[in-house]
Chain A
Amino acid sequence: MGTITQSIANNLTTGLGGASGINFRNIIINGDMNIAQRGTSTASITTDGYYTVDRFNFEIGGSSVWTQSQASDAPSGQGFTYSLKMDCTTAQASPASNDIILVGQSVEGFNLQTIKQGTSNAQSTTLSFWHKHTKTGTNIVELLDADNSNAVSGSYTQSVSDTWEKATIAFPANTSGTYGNDSNRSLRIRFIMGAGSDYTSGTLATTWQTTVTDANRYVGQVNNADNTANNFSITGVQYEVGTTASEFEFLPYGVKLERCYRYYQKSYAYATAVGTNTTIGIRTTSGSAGGMTTGQLYGDLQFKGNMRTAPTMTTYDKAGNSGVCARLNGGVARTDSQNLSMGDISEKSCSITSTGTANAGAIDVHWQAVSEL
């Protein structure tokens, strides 16, 4: 067998993804926290949302306040550069009974079919990740099946404060309830940071609950919100089929960015926050010199590939005002704060209509498109 033929044969055996087999085996997107289109740090967080690292959301109940960042801190020698860091800036000594604080990622059903859940061939799965928490003790990770309202929990331990440690949690197969083969949210993978007694007073459910008992969901969870010295960081998050954790699947940067575009895109340059006063990246509809009007102007916005679903659109004029656009009189003037309406929003594109009154030949507009789960 020739060298090239042997190489192809080896790849077919081991998988083109490297030593650990199948490409795209990691169901988590951006598990190495490399992509952060929204920015690298957000302070004073008190509400649910997506803040920095793509695809990872934050949910909060209670009175603690947090700063989230894409931190340049990662376990040494593992190939990671960044982590998702939650920094407690206002503490809550003990959670109210119904409080939950977590970071997590939701997965659409299209990306879960390999688990074969709800069939006799349902697969076990394994979640692996690196964690570095100030608070030592037990933390809980939950798989919450959004299609069938099933849930299962697993635990890991931060043994040494503020030290990177690796966790591997195997979850049993679930033969009850299939994941929809669609773009809706089917699975929520949740890293619990704190939880009240409504969720901690029972026995941890390490087998799938088809009727979820809240008291069994986060038993043993420490309160990472009890001190402003506390940080909670994770990286290298991988969720895959099987009973063991394979080596983390590093994908090319461009591939990761494209995968994130399915859920979030913007017209601005990567490192520029939405609402920044800039023309870089601004979408200018076509127009012609002398073709001026104070009436309606039309155009469209095309997305980079298909988004998960028709996205929520937020537009900005050059100055950064939202819900409006600028009208451009090329070479003469750009007028901000002009009315804009959106239409025909689909996963591929949308139309824009400026009904502002400034004499112009084209629309100038920045935009953000969000179709998160």
Chain B
Amino acid sequence: MINTVEKIYSWENNFQNYKVTYNDGKISSVPLDTANTDYQAIQQWIADGGTVIDNPPE
């Protein structure tokens, strides 16, 4: 189960993947690839009302 989702940016300020924290404490990096099933799960989580943490570099 997803707990939190955060956008991760590169040093060039490109949004490059999601950092996902699951309820069991596991932390994973999910690529922006529509064929990735965890990416699909994040999109569903967002559609269900989940809020993505977004702190782009200044």
Q: Which residues of A contact B (CB under 8 A)?
A: 47, 182-185, 308-315, 322-324, 341-346, 350, 353, 370-373
Count CB-based A-B contacts (< 8 Å).
Answer: 63
* Binary flags per residue of B27-58, CB closer than 8 Å to A gives 1, else 0: 11111010111100000000000000000000
Rounded to whole angstroms, the CA-CA distance of A345 and B17 in the bound complex is: 8
Q: Are B29 and A310 in contact (CB under 8 A)?
A: no
Q: Are A183 and B35 in contact (CB under 8 A)?
A: yes
A-B CB proximity, top 4 nearest: A323-B27, A310-B31, A345-B31, A342-B29
B26 proximity list for chain A (CB < 8 A):
314, 322-323
Q: Which residues of B1-33 are within 8 A (CB) of A? A: 1, 8, 10-11, 16-17, 19, 21, 25-31, 33
Partner of A312, one of B8, B10, B25, B38: B38
CB-CB nearest in chain B for A370:
B38
Rounded to whole angstroms, the CA-CA distance of A314 and B27 in the bound complex is: 6
CB-CB nearest in chain B for A373:
B37
A sample of 12 cross-chain residue pairs with beta-carbon separation below 8 angstroms, ordered by A number, consists of A183-B35, A310-B36, A312-B38, A314-B26, A314-B27, A322-B25, A323-B19, A342-B17, A344-B16, A345-B33, A350-B29, A371-B36
Distance of B21 from chain A, by nearest CB (Å): 8
A372 proximity list for chain B (CB < 8 A):
37
Distance of B43 from chain A, by nearest CB (Å): 14
Identify 12 new A-B residue pairs, CB closer than 8 A, beyond the known A312-B28, A341-B8: A310-B33, A312-B30, A312-B31, A312-B38, A313-B29, A314-B26, A314-B28, A342-B16, A343-B10, A345-B16, A345-B29, A346-B31
Rounded to whole angstroms, the CA-CA distance of A184 and B34 in the bound complex is: 9
A342 proximity list for chain B (CB < 8 A):
8, 16-17, 29
Distance of B28 from chain A, by nearest CB (Å): 4
Partner of A322, one of B1, B8, B27, B33: B27
Distance of B36 from chain A, by nearest CB (Å): 6
B27 proximity list for chain A (CB < 8 A):
314, 322-324
Q: Are B16 and A312 in contact (CB under 8 A)?
A: no
CB-CB nearest in chain A for B21:
A323
Q: Are B17 and A309 in contact (CB under 8 A)?
A: no
Rounded to whole angstroms, the CA-CA distance of A48 and B18 in the bound complex is: 22
Distance of A215 from chain B, by nearest CB (Å): 26
CB-CB nearest in chain B for A345:
B31
Partner of A343, one of B17, B25, B28, B36: B17
A312 proximity list for chain B (CB < 8 A):
28-31, 36, 38
Distance of A3 from chain B, by nearest CB (Å): 49
Q: Are B29 and A308 in contact (CB under 8 A)?
A: no
Rounded to whole angstroms, the CA-CA distance of A118 and B5 in the bound complex is: 39
